[in-house]
């Protein structure tokens, strides 16, 4: 029966019986394989013929739409059909070299991502610092604008007065103005006054009835500029003498230090 | 076929096809298209039908190359078996078996054709034709009617007006003798 089966020449009932037998008989399956190889040489008895060249193109085009690889298939119905020689799949599908190169590629990709993260982190930090600097600058600008607005408000207020202060022999180039309204709301703007000595601050004084009334302490920094909001004491509102001395950090109740600025009569 | 293509074994090509290598499929097609097409035309007699089946065969190769187990046989055997099976299926569907039953009894070497010159395959063909010639006419008819005509033993018995048992004996003895002859002459075919 095996020789006839190798030629697919068994009648249907015999073919089905043999198929059932082959499922449990390895020896017969192997013998059938041998007969099928012998039968295959009959194909060599035919005259080789060349198919149409277009068939090659059609064939290669047809596989492009194929999705997955099929595995073994059997007869789809009970009728007698020619059987396709079936083999047990033993092919793994990938060569070790492809797996090795794939692992190397994955490692390189990971390293590249890591480097990118570090670079981005550094750039992020730099950006943060820049943002902080700009934020600080904006804040200072806002403060300056606010003070300028306040100064304008004071200067344009009804009954506003402006006193000019000049530098003394210590810093002749410095000068300042003190603007205040009738309610004593004042602003002191100083220019060209170097920073005070270490541990010292500048202090504003209001002269009234032979006494010096203390104002706020302030510093100028290396820009030599200072803008100070102040409240002129009520008893000093009609006075027109103002001065700036250098005093200890927390200020004094009476002037003790050298005079740097004095109001012009 | 280019020299570099000829260096790749059939097994390597099937493995590559299983990895979805389209070029490998093209190589395999180029290597066996003339033999397979000749077989299909011999079975189906109509070139257009044979081309359809040949395309179908290589589509099956593309789909099922991962199933090939080289320990159970050669790729050539697998391809030929696949092609013949598809052709017999088509033949039965077309209902042309009776017409072919007459033509397949002819000596293959009598066919006139636009044969392709391939020295190696030509040598192999000569060996197989020579081996078939050493069989008795009855043995040869039984084998060829079954192989190229797709007839069952009962159909052959009916066709030749011969007892079924006789056909079975001729078929078996003919195949055994053919194998013995080929084993002696051309071990590379196995």
Residues A40-65: pLDDT tens digits? 999 999 989 999 999 999 999 999 88
B1 and B86 part of one domain: yes
Mean per-residue pLDDT of chain B: 84
Which residue is it, tokens 């039965």? B92
**Residue B104 falls inside a structural domain:** no
Percent of chain B surpassing pLDDT 90: 63
pLDDT at A79: 38
Of the segments A16-30, A144-158, B161-175, which one has the largest average pLDDT value? B161-175
Instruction: Check residues A122 and B132 and name the one with the higher pLDDT.
Output: B132
**Residue B80 falls inside a structural domain:** yes
Interface of B with A in 128-147 (CB under 8 A): 128-129, 132, 143-144, 146-147
Cβ–Cβ contact A26 with B under 8 A? no
Average pLDDT over residues A26-38: 89
SS3 of chain B:
CCHHHHCCCHHHHHHHHHCCCHHHHHHHHHHHHHHHHHHHHHHHCCHHHHHHHHHHHHHHHHHHHHHCCCCCCCHHHHHHHHHHHHHHHHHHHHCCHHHHHHHCCCCHHHCCCCECCCHHHHHHHHHHHHHHHCCCHHHHHHHHHHHHHCCCHHHHHHHHCCCHHHHHHHHHHHHHHHHHHHHHHCHHHC
Which residue is it, tokens 């077309």? B94
Domain range spanning residue B183? 110-190
Residues A193-226: pLDDT tens digits? 988 888 889 999 998 888 889 999 998 876 788 8
B14 and B77 part of one domain: yes
Q: Could you tell me the two tokens for B35?
A: 């033999």
Query: For A43, left (φ over 0), alpha (ψ -120 to 50), or beta?
Result: alpha
Cβ–Cβ contact A90 with B under 8 A? yes
B117 and B91 part of one domain: no
- DSSP string covering A29-44, please? HHHHHHHHHHHHGGGG
- Is the Cβ–Cβ distance between A204 and A216 less than 8 Å? yes
Residue ranges per structural domain of chain A: 1-41+51-91, 98-156, 161-263
In total, the C-beta contacts within 8 angstroms joining chain A to chain B are 215
pLDDT at A131: 78
Look at A46 and B39 and tell me if their CB atoms are within 8 Å.
yes
Instruction: Check residues A262 and B186 and name the one with the higher pLDDT.
Output: A262
| Domain total of chain B | 2
pLDDT at A154: 84
Instruction: Check residues B134 and A141 and name the one with the higher pLDDT.
Output: B134
Look at A9 and B146 and tell me if their CB atoms are within 8 Å.
yes
Q: Which of A51, A67, A94 to mutate to test the interface with B (most CBs of B within 10 A)?
A: A51
Measured at the CA of B152, the angle between CA B149 and CA B155, to 5 degrees, comes to 90
Q: Which of A38, A56, A72 sits opposite B175 (nearest CB)?
A: A38
Backbone angles phi, psi at A62, to 5 degrees: -65, -30
B48 and B128 part of one domain: no
In this prediction, residue A90 has a pLDDT band, given cuts at 50, 70 and 90, of very low
Among the three residues B62, B95, B128, which one is the final residue of a domain in this structure?
Answer: B95
pLDDT at B120: 66
Among the three residues B64, B95, B126, which one is the final residue of a domain in this structure?
Answer: B95
Q: Could you tell me the two tokens for A211?
A: 């006494």
CA A240, A241, A242, A248: dihedral to nearest 10 degrees? Answer: -150
**Residue B164 falls inside a structural domain:** yes
Distance, in Å, from the CA atom of B40 to the CA atom of B50, rounded to the nearest integer, reads 5
Looking at the predicted structure, is the pLDDT value of residue B9 above 50? yes
Measured at the CA of A89, the angle between CA A88 and CA A90, to 5 degrees, comes to 110
Looking at the predicted structure, is the pLDDT value of residue A26 above 90? no
Distance, in Å, from the CA atom of A36 to the CA atom of A48, rounded to the nearest integer, reads 21
Residues of A with Cβ-Cβ distance to B83 under 8 angstroms = 43
Average pLDDT over residues A18-47: 90
Distance, in Å, from the CA atom of A11 to the CA atom of B157, rounded to the nearest integer, reads 12
- Is the Cβ–Cβ distance between A223 and A255 less than 8 Å? no
| A193: nearest Cα among A224, A237, A169 | A224
Distance, in Å, from the CA atom of B11 to the CA atom of B29, rounded to the nearest integer, reads 14
| A73: nearest Cα among B113, B64, B128 | B64
Which CATH number belongs to the domain containing residue B13 in this structure? 1.10.1740.10
Average pLDDT over residues A167-188: 90
Q: Which of A214-228, B91-105, B173-187 has the lowest mean pLDDT?
A: B91-105
Residues of A with Cβ-Cβ distance to B58 under 8 angstroms = 59, 63
Cβ–Cβ contact B32 with A under 8 A? no
Distance, in Å, from the CA atom of A173 to the CA atom of A167, rounded to the nearest integer, reads 6
Please tell me which residue of chain A has the smallest CA distance to B174: A3
pLDDT at A74: 42
CA distances from A194 to A143, A180, A189, A255, A256 (A): 21, 24, 14, 19, 19
Which CATH number belongs to the domain containing residue B130 in this structure? 1.10.10.10
Cβ–Cβ contact B190 with A under 8 A? yes
Cβ–Cβ contact A159 with B under 8 A? no
- Second-level CATH architecture of A161-263: Sandwich (2.60)
pLDDT at B114: 40
Among the three residues B95, B125, B149, which one is the final residue of a domain in this structure?
Answer: B95
Q: Which of A69-73, B36-40, B126-130 has the lowest mean pLDDT?
A: A69-73
| A260: nearest Cα among A186, A185, A216, A195 | A195
Q: Which of A158-162, B146-150, B168-172 has the lowest mean pLDDT?
A: A158-162
B50 and B140 part of one domain: no
Q: Which of A1, A12, A37, A48 to mutate to test the interface with B (most CBs of B within 10 A)?
A: A48
Residues B23-81: pLDDT tens digits? 999 999 999 999 999 999 999 999 999 999 999 999 999 999 988 888 888 999 999 99
- Is the Cβ–Cβ distance between B13 and B58 less than 8 Å? no
pLDDT at B64: 92
Average pLDDT over residues A137-145: 73
Percent of chain B surpassing pLDDT 70: 81
ipTM score assigned to the predicted complex:
0.85
Q: Which of A60, A73, A89 sits opposite B69 (nearest CB)?
A: A89
Looking at the predicted structure, is the pLDDT value of residue B165 above 90? yes
**A254 contact partners, CB below 8 Å, separation of at least 6:** A212, A214
B56 and B1 part of one domain: yes
């Amino acid at each position: 029966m095996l020789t006839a089966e190798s030629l697919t020449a068994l009648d249907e009932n015999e073919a089905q019986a043999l198929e059932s037998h082959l499922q449990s008989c390895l020896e017969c399956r192997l013998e059938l394989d041998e007969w099928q190889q012998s039968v295959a040489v009959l194909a060599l008895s035919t005259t080789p013929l060349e198919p149409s060249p277009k068939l090659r193109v059609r064939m290669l085009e047809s596989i492009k739409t194929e999705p997955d690889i099929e595995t073994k298939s059997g007869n789809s119905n009970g009728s007698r059909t020619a059987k396709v020689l079936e083999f047990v799949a033993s092919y793994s599908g990938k060569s070790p070299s492809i797996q090795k190169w794939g692992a190397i590629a994955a490692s390189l990709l990971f390293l590249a991502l890591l480097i990118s993260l570090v670079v981005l982190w550094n750039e992020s930090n730099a950006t943060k610092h820049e943002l902080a600097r700009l934020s600080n600058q904006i804040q200072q600008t806002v403060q300056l604008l606010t003070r300028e607005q306040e100064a304008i408000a004071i200067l344009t207020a009804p009954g506003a007065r402006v006193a000019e202060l000049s530098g003394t022999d210590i810093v002749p180039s410095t000068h300042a103005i003190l603007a205040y309204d009738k309610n004593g709301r004042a602003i002191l703007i100083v220019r060209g006054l170097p920073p005070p000595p270490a541990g010292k601050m500048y202090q504003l004084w209001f002269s009234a009835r032979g006494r010096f009334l203390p104002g706020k302490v302030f510093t100028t920094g290396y820009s030599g500029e200072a803008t100070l909001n102040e409240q002129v004491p009520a008893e000093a509102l009609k006075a027109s003498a103002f001065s700036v001395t250098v005093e200890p950090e927390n200020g004094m109740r009476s002037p003790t230090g050298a005079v740097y600025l004095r109001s012009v009569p | 076929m280019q020299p570099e293509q000829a260096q790749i074994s059939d097994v390597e090509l099937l493995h590559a096809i299983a990895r979805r290598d389209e070029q490998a499929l093209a190589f395999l097609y180029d290597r066996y298209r003339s033999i397979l097409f000749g077989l299909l035309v011999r079975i189906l007699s109509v070139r257009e039908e044979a081309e359809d089946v040949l395309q179908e065969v290589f589509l099956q190769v593309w789909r099922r190359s991962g199933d090939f187990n080289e320990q159970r046989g050669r790729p050539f055997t697998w391809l030929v078996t696949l092609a013949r099976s598809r052709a017999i299926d088509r033949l039965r569907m077309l209902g042309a078996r009776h017409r072919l039953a007459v033509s397949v009894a002819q000596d293959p070497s009598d066919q006139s054709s636009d044969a392709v010159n391939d020295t190696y395959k030509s040598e192999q063909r000569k060996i197989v034709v020579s081996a078939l010639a050493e069989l008795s006419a009855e043995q040869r008819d039984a084998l060829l009617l079954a192989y190229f005509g797709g007839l069952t033993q009962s159909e052959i018995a009916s066709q030749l007006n011969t007892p079924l048992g006789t056909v079975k004996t001729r078929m078996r003895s003919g195949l055994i003798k053919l194998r013995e002859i080929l084993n002696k002459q051309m071990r590379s075919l196995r």
